[in-house]
Amino acid sequence: MKKMLLSFILLLIMVIQLPLSAFAHSELESSTPAEGEKVTTDLEAVVLTFSTKIESLSTMTLKNGDKEIPLQISIEDDQMTGAINNPLENGNYTVVYKIIGADSHVIEGNYTFSVDRPEQDQAQEENPEDKKEDTGEQALPDTEKKDQPKNPSYFAPLTIGLVIVIAIVSFFAFRRKR
């Protein structure tokens, strides 16, 4: 009897540990601009790509010293994009991010890059009459993006936990009937 109970407990511990080992922590795979990169053109966005899907509560800030640069954040699957409205001045910038990965763990990090645009580009920005209207392509509206199911990241562990609880209750219920 004791051997059977001990075997069951060991099996239960192994089953509980399997899902935990399957979820790896999210990490930053790539970024645009990259760590330490020297940007010499207008930067339209900061793009961070992670190793797993990230949750919508994730955040990113762009700082030039103590000054925070406003970003329009959008998150899609494993990518977080911070659109920059105004051209960045020459200087050193720090990207600070805080994400919630698919495994529900909070991951924080930062990296730096610099902007060193030629003086000619900056002078043109100061003279708005010299600017021509942008006739480039427009982004597709959100309605044309693929519809994807939005299951929360806790769905799989919750389901596995529920199955384990049902198995334990069933085990003891059938044990008493014998």
More confident residue, 162 or 4: 162
pLDDT > 60? residue 119: yes
- By DSSP bridging, strand 71-76 and strand 67-69 are unpaired
Contact in structure between 51 and 24 (CB atoms under 8 Å) = yes
- By DSSP bridging, strand 59-64 and strand 91-100 are antiparallel
Contact in structure between 3 and 81 (CB atoms under 8 Å) = no
The pLDDT of residue 103: 77
Tens digit of each residue's pLDDT (9 = 90 or more) over 4-57? 766 677 667 766 665 554 556 788 999 999 999 999 999 999 999 998 899 989
